[in-house]
Structure 1
Amino acid sequence: MPMSTAEHLHALHEQGFTLLPGVLDAAAVSSLRQLIDQLQPIHWDYCGLVDDHFKCVFNRGPEWLPYLDLPGVIELAEAALGEDCHLIGMTAWRNHPGFIGGDLHVDHLAMELPESLLADPTFALPMQICTAHIYLDDIDADLCPTLVIPGSHRAGRRPRTGETGWRGKSAEAVLCRAGDVLMFRSELWHAGSRNRTTDRTRYLLQVHYGRRMVAQKFSPYLAFHFNPEVLTACTPRQRRLLGDHTAAEYD
């Protein structure tokens, strides 16, 4: 029986991550891979020797809008970050054979806190940013699995140089199927890993959500402007995710 949004939210609080299986079907996976293959680098994007990286792809055209608020994913994002949460980034990747991946890290740590406080089961650390990894391949041990350390969001700090575990726990590979989505909070210790295959490229779409007061990260910042075709095609929820909020204290 599929997990409910409440159960996924509990996992985010307890483990720091949760896997939503079968969010995209095979046809949607194929369509999204084709969209990534059609991308051309602009601004700070690049196509490298072992990986290709495209930022703010939601702004390329209306065809990307459905991935802002995928069923099951958006309900979890709103439950974790508030019903007025918004998008702070959407990045597409192709990781080719030879790709190395990143070291153990956290994406964002709002503040360092004593581990004794975070270990208290009555204390629930509020989430500020969550990332959805939308996998477009069957991920095995050789094809760049995301590595996570369960519960490490309660460390209250970033991993130190050379650190590979926390409280006796080592990083675990998230093995999953094309169409699955990994949601994790920004304080979780996690890492990329190598593409050890000789003939497969990992396709990945990252969708980053933040609370209302977390700034949107739309590069190249002052030069960024919304694609009018995208805005015209948005649903009300998608417009809010792109920043069309009601007035608040700091607006």
Structure 2
Amino acid sequence: MNRDITHQLNALHHQGFALLPGVLDAGQVAAARAAIDGLQPIHWDYQGLVDDHYKCVFNRAPFWLAYLDLPGVIELAEAALGEDCHIIGQTAWRSHPGFVGAELHVDHLVMELPEALLADPAFTLPMQICTAMIYLDDIDRDLCPTLVIPGSHKAGRKPHPGEESWHGRTAEPVLCQAGDVLMLRSELWHSGSRNRTADRSRYLLQVHYGRRMVAQKFSPYLQFRFNPQVLAAATPRQRRLLGEHAPAEYD
């Protein structure tokens, strides 16, 4: 494991998140933004007054496959979740002026655990789900920065309604550049924030990774079918990420 991945993996264990700078170049950022602009809502997608949300974009066209296993990101996902991890979603967002982000929350908590256990240096909480947040804009304080409370994945619980801090720490904005990627584990307390700009929309692509035994639940569920063009274009690693696994005990 190279030094960068080791450092980032340690950050996931100790801080609950890691920022990976410069994953995409300007051309890749521009291409992803243009592709999001070309999306049309299907199934459970929506285009609203202040935000647009598209699910399972990996299944729209082969273009999106490259964003599933970006260099530096996929190695961290595999180090955190196992070399047989897969995706459980890929979501594209446009957040327009006036957008209000989600309140402080966790994405998924497998079980509540005593905080004293999680504070014990001899215990390391395994990760089950991580999300790569691929920023397609320069993120400043006015353009919907993601807010995180470092270390709060060790709370062992979800934040209570109205709770805004953990151990005296409040949520901090992640300020970054277009092409940077924020990897966060699902137990971390985090939130969205407002788009306070007058004329800028934040473009964001998310890839959700899970361990092999975290089920893939692609909407609209029973009606979901893989796009044959996507499967034909996928590399062996991308096909594994889409769910083509070697047989295991529960298959």
Q: Could you say which TM-score interval applies, normalised by the shorter chain?
A: over 0.9
Equivalent residues in 2 for 1:170-181, closer than 5 Å: 170-181=170-181
Equivalent residues in 2 for 1:159-174, closer than 5 Å: 159-174=159-174
1:3 Cα offset (Å): 6.0
| DSSP 3-state at the match of 1:194 | coil
Match of 1:235 in 2: 235
Match of 1:120 in 2: 120
Match of 1:105 in 2: 105
Deviations 1:182-213 (A, max 9, x none): 00000000000000000000000000000000
Q: CA RMSD in A?
A: 0.8
Distance (Å, rounded) in 2 between the aligned partners of 1:84 and 1:202: 32
Structure 1 consecutive aligned stretches of length 4 or more whose deviation exceeds 4 Å: none
- Write the letter of the residue equivalent to 1:16: G
| DSSP 3-state at the match of 1:4 | helix
Distance (Å, rounded) in 1 between the aligned partners of 2:4 and 2:91: 27
Match of 1:83 in 2: 83
Distance (Å, rounded) in 1 between the aligned partners of 2:154 and 2:126: 11
TM-score, structure 2 normalization:
0.99
Match of 1:146 in 2: 146
Q: Structure 2 stretches of 5 or more lacking a match?
A: none
1:121 Cα offset (Å): 1.1
Match of 2:213 in 1: 213
Deviations 1:61-80 (A, max 9, x none): 10110000000000000000
- Write the letter of the residue equivalent to 2:181: V
- Write the letter of the residue equivalent to 2:124: A
1:15 aligns with 2:12: no
- Write the letter of the residue equivalent to 1:202: R
Distance (Å, rounded) in 2 between the aligned partners of 1:165 and 1:90: 29
Distance (Å, rounded) in 2 between the aligned partners of 1:122 and 1:150: 20
Distance (Å, rounded) in 2 between the aligned partners of 1:108 and 1:221: 19
Q: Structure 1 stretches of 5 or more lacking a match?
A: none
- Write the letter of the residue equivalent to 1:124: T
State the percentage of identical aligned residues. Answer: 77
Distance (Å, rounded) in 2 between the aligned partners of 1:57 and 1:162: 33
| DSSP 3-state at the match of 2:208 | strand
1:217 Cα offset (Å): 2.3
- Write the letter of the residue equivalent to 1:140: D
Equivalent residues in 2 for 1:26-37, closer than 5 Å: 26-37=26-37
| DSSP 3-state at the match of 1:183 | strand
| DSSP 3-state at the match of 1:43 | coil
Match of 2:5 in 1: 5
| DSSP 3-state at the match of 2:32 | helix
Distance (Å, rounded) in 1 between the aligned partners of 2:3 and 2:52: 33
Distance (Å, rounded) in 2 between the aligned partners of 1:69 and 1:200: 28
- Write the letter of the residue equivalent to 2:101: G
Match of 1:50 in 2: 50
Distance (Å, rounded) in 2 between the aligned partners of 1:237 and 1:181: 20
1:122 Cα offset (Å): 1.3
